[in-house]
Structure formats: C-alpha cells, structure tokens
Amino acid sequence: MTVKLYKRLLQYVKPYRMKLILAMICMVFFALCTAGTAWLVQPTMDKIFVDKDMRMLFIIPALIIGLYLIKGVFFFGQTYLMNYVGQRIVADLREKLYHHLQYLSLSFFTKTPTGILISRITNDVNLIQGAVSNAITSVLRDSFTIITLTGVIFYQDWKLACIAFTVLPLAAIPIVKFGQKLRKFSTKGQIQMGSITSLLQETISGNRIVKAFTMEDYETRRFSAENDRFFKVVMKRQKIRALSSPVAELLGGLGVAGIMLVGGYSVIEGTSTPGTFGSFLAALLLLYKPIKNLSRVNDIVQAGLAAGSRVFELMDTTPEIRDADGAVPLTNISEGIKFEHVSFKYEDEMALKDINLAVKVGEVLALVGMSGAGKTTLVNVIPRFYDINEGRITIDGRDIKTLTIRSLREHIAIVTQQTILFNDTVRNNIAYGDITKTEREIIEAAKAANAHGFIEKLPLGYDSVIGERGVKLSGGERQRISIARALLKDAPILILDEATSSLDSKSELQVQIALERLMENRTVFLIAHRLSTIRNAHRIVVIDDGRIVEDGTHDELLAMNRIYKRLHQMQFRDDGETVLRKSRVRQIY
C-alpha cells in the first residue's frame, strides 16, 4: 500500500523530470566535492605536517577554496531546481484537488465539514510536498554523498572499511521502528488539525451569533480543548523524533569509537599513515550528516504518506451526480416540466413521496406547506442537486438524467433566502456565471432588480468590493444583487426559495417589484411562507409530509377548506396581531 501510494505521488513529478535530472547532476557533483574534501585530508597531513612540503602548503588551500566554491554552485543549483519541482507539484495537486471538489455532489458538502476540506487543500498538500520534493532531494543528494564518501573510505583502508560497515548499520534499526510510530501520530495530527480548521471556520463565519448569545467563553474553551488535543498528538510525535536521534547517534558513536581503536593501533604499528587514517576518519565522520538526514527523511515521508492517503481518499471520491453515457444538451424548453411518481430520501428519511406534477412553460407554480414538508427538496431535484430514488422528472418529455448537467443548470436560475455573494466587486457578483457580459447588460439587470440606485451610492459604484458573503450590504441590497444576477442569466426556469422571508417591509416591497420583473415570461417555482406573496400564482400546490395534498388557485384552495385555508387563517391572524402591536407601539411613542 505504501509503495503504491508513493508511486502515485511520484506521478506528479513526471512533467518536471528534466529539471529533476539537472538537479540530480548537481547533486552528483555536490557529492563528489564533499568526498574531495575528505580525500584532501590525506595529502594535507602527510605532505604538509609529516613531509613539511612547502609547495603543497600553497596548493592544497587553493584546492580547498576551489572545491568549496564549486560545491556552493552545485548546492544552489540542486536546491533551487528541487524547490521549483516541489512547489509546482504542490500547486498542481492543490489545483487538481480543488477542481475535483467543485464537481462533487451537493450531498458530499452537506456531510463533510468545510474546515476539513480546507485542511486537506492547505495543510495536507503542504505535507505531501515535503514527502515528494524534500524527501527526493535528501535521498538523492545524501545517497550520492554516502556513495562517494564510501568510495574514499574503501580507497584509504578497505579492511577498516569492512569493519565499519559491519558495525554502523546497527544505527539504522531504531530509524525503522520509530518511523512506524511517526506515521501513526502524523495521521492523528492531521485529523486533529482538520477539526481545528473546521471549528475556526464555523466560529469566525458565525461570530455574530457567538456574540449575540454571549458564547465567547464557551467557544474559547471548545477551541482550547481541540488545540490541547492537537498539542498532545504533536508532542508524542516530537518525543519519538527526539528519541530516535540520540539512540541512533549512540549506536553510531560506539561504532566510531571501535574504529578509532583499530585504526589508531594500525597507525602506531606503522601499517597505516596518519594522513590515510585521517582521511578515512574524516570521510567516516562526514557520513554522519547525510545518514542523519536520511533518518529525518523517514519522518517527512511518513507525514507525507499519511497526508497523501487523506488527499487521495478525497480525490477518489466520485460525484454521485454525473452525466449519463450519451447525455445530450438541453437546447430549449417548449412544453414544460413533469414529475412522474417521484420519490426521494435523504439517507433513511423519505423527503418526497410519489410526487406527480406537471408545470407548463410560463406557468408560475407556488409551493406552500409547513417547514420540513419537502418544498425545497422538490425544487432541488430539478437542477439535479440530488438525484431522485424513484420515478422520473422530464423536460419536454426528456428525462433530465439523459441531459447534460451543465446544460440543464444553464436553463435554471435560483434566488434563495440565504443569499450567497462573493468577496468581489458588485459587477462580478452580478455577472457571476458569465463574466463576458457587457457593462450595459449588467447595469440593465441591476436597474430591473431595483439595485442600480444603491449601487451608484457605493464608494466605487459597480467596482465596490462587497465583503465576504456581501457583509457590507444590507439584507435587501444583497437580495437585489442576487436577483440582478438571476436576471442577467436570463434562464427560462426560475426557482424562488423564500426570497423575501427575511426582509423588512420596505426591503420586501422593493425586492418583490424586482421579483415580478424577474418572473415575467418564465416557468417559476415559487416557495414562500408569506401567502400574500403568492396570491397571483397561476397555481398553488400544498405539500405535507413529502406529498402533494392540494393543488389549485388561491380561491379554489380556500374553498376546499383544508390545509391551505388553515395556513391562510393562521398567517393572517398573526399578521393582524402584528399590525395591532405596531399600532399600540406607535400610540405609546
């Protein structure tokens, strides 16, 4: 599994293999320069300190300077090239992951916390970069260095080298053992970081509610608990890292001490020169750093593999809503939309039950019912935000599952109670969906939505940035921007999901006028709690417990004396009481 995962990660290196090859060439020469410094110890000691050769006293320092200069050039080359490859891999992977997320089904986002997804795209992808580029850099460079230094060691004293390479590999034993535990705690740490990110996203975006209910201390305690759990996982990982290094060093130190005894004895006995043993020992000591680097690589690789497993798990998630084989684009709508024995459930809960409904082109259909009756679910299955479990939905007799999703949704405009705007200019928010729209078209849509007046009063007019979720605008202004966006899309099917329910009377009046313009010559599905806003609908459908229980005009449904009439009486009684209360307040003041 680990090998398969790493191979998959390395697929992202392929497009940059030429830069990787150049980096490897730099690493080879860097390693040769490192070995050269160890080899120069022999002539330094034997020619200068033992033979007292004055000529070599000037030649060898010059060689050392040249060697370190060349070594620096190749170090820069391999470092820059490998970082380029690593950062490109991160950018490519993050882009591919984000692209994949955009096409996942709506049900996926309802089940997965936003913070978890953000953590995957940011934190986990960065850890993968370490496993791919940093690990490759270290493995290649340090492996080349180890090979060249090993060559120097065997060249100087092959017998002593055999002893050294029998004893020193013992230091690798703890690296393998500790690596297994590191990966386990790296996975736990990444999961915990996802929880922290999710909590941050919730509390920062919902800060107004936190303050309104004076829950600052509660949220602080909640964050503190999550943060403390993350701290404990990180410290367990750091404890393993801190322990692995001294254990490996102790075993390595024991080996070096033994080699010094054997090598020193051979110099004293005259079977080896001080320069030869000095060069041997220098090469052996220089081996310490690349070997230690390789042991650290294991930490990076384990963290990266754990992150890679989580990222690829997300990338392997297939969208539940996909184009069928042979799907064709929807070009126009001439007849209407039909629901034929449609049933749908969220997991185990039935939301729609045997819905049969026909809506003609140009018809305004109002959907009413108590909260949770299934109104929003019914309109959500039209653009295939969810796929129905039974029956079929047709447009002009064609099952919507045989149409391409893109073309289907291009024919539908939506205005909801919860207005979603982006931290961008007014112009770009209105033109969202088709940024090629002209200035004139954008302004015309804004005028039709009763938005042009307040937009012109903004500091930069249509170029004003409206903040995250349009926070710099009032509720009514946000809704009118949303209506302008729908007007500019000019889709033949319009879904209005309680588009005025959260507005005050003045804003509602302005928005209602804009909505009436938007509804002209369109097939409209209108959901509204306020029954006064749906009086003029061509038909009204009452939904109760996922079923259509009444269907007719306003007057026909009142005459039936059933659910619609009860809803009507309840609402207008409540509205009357509200008017009376407002009247009394005005009298008091």
Q: What is the CATH number of the domain that holds 286?
A: 1.20.1560.10
CA-to-CA dists, residue 535 to 414, 416, 480, 513, 514, angstroms: 21, 19, 22, 15, 17
In a domain, 74, yes or no: yes
Task: Please state, in angstroms and rounded to a whole number, the distance separating the CA atoms of residues 366 and 526.
Answer: 4
In a domain, 250, yes or no: yes
In a domain, 310, yes or no: yes
Residue by residue, pLDDT tens for the chain (589 residues) are 567 777 787 788 888 889 988 988 998 898 888 888 888 787 877 777 777 778 887 888 888 888 889 989 998 998 889 888 888 888 888 889 888 888 888 888 888 877 778 878 888 888 887 777 777 777 778 888 888 888 888 887 777 777 777 666 666 666 666 666 766 777 777 677 777 877 777 777 667 667 666 778 888 888 888 888 888 888 887 777 777 767 766 766 666 676 777 777 777 777 777 777 777 777 777 777 787 777 677 777 777 777 888 888 888 888 888 899 999 999 889 899 999 999 999 877 899 999 999 999 999 999 998 888 899 999 999 999 999 999 999 999 999 999 999 999 989 988 887 778 888 899 998 988 777 889 999 998 888 888 898 999 999 999 999 887 788 888 888 888 888 888 888 889 989 887 665 555 666 677 777 777 778 888 999 887 777 667 778 899 999 999 999 999 888 888 888 888 888 887 766 544 443 333 433 333 2
Q: 3-state SS of 435-494? A: CCCCHHHHHHHHHHCCCHHHHHHCCCHHHCECCHHHCCCCHHHHHHHHHHHHHHHCCCEE
In a domain, 350, yes or no: no
In a domain, 63, yes or no: yes
In a domain, 30, yes or no: yes
Q: How many domains does the chain have?
A: 1
Task: Please state, in angstroms and rounded to a whole number, the distance separating the CA atoms of residues 56 and 427.
Answer: 76
Pair type for strands 398-399 and 390-395: antiparallel
Q: Under a CB-based contact definition with an 8 Å cutoff, are residues 309 and 189 in contact? A: no
Task: Please state, in angstroms and rounded to a whole number, the distance separating the CA atoms of residues 391 and 554.
Answer: 29
Burial state string for 403-428 with b = 16 or more CB within 10 A and e = fewer than 16 = bebeebbbbbbbbbbebebeebbbbb
In a domain, 107, yes or no: yes
Q: Whole-model pTM?
A: 0.70
Domain of 213, in residue numbers = 2-315
Q: Name 497's bridge partners.
A: 416, 527
Q: Under a CB-based contact definition with an 8 Å cutoff, are residues 275 and 60 in contact? A: no
In a domain, 155, yes or no: yes
Task: Please state, in angstroms and rounded to a whole number, the distance separating the CA atoms of residues 410 and 85.
Answer: 39
CA-to-CA dists, residue 227 to 321, 468, 484, angstroms: 37, 26, 43
Tally of CA atoms within 13 A in the half-sphere of 425 that contains its CB: 12
Cβ contacts of residue 375 below 8 Å, gap of 6+? 367, 368, 369, 497, 527, 543
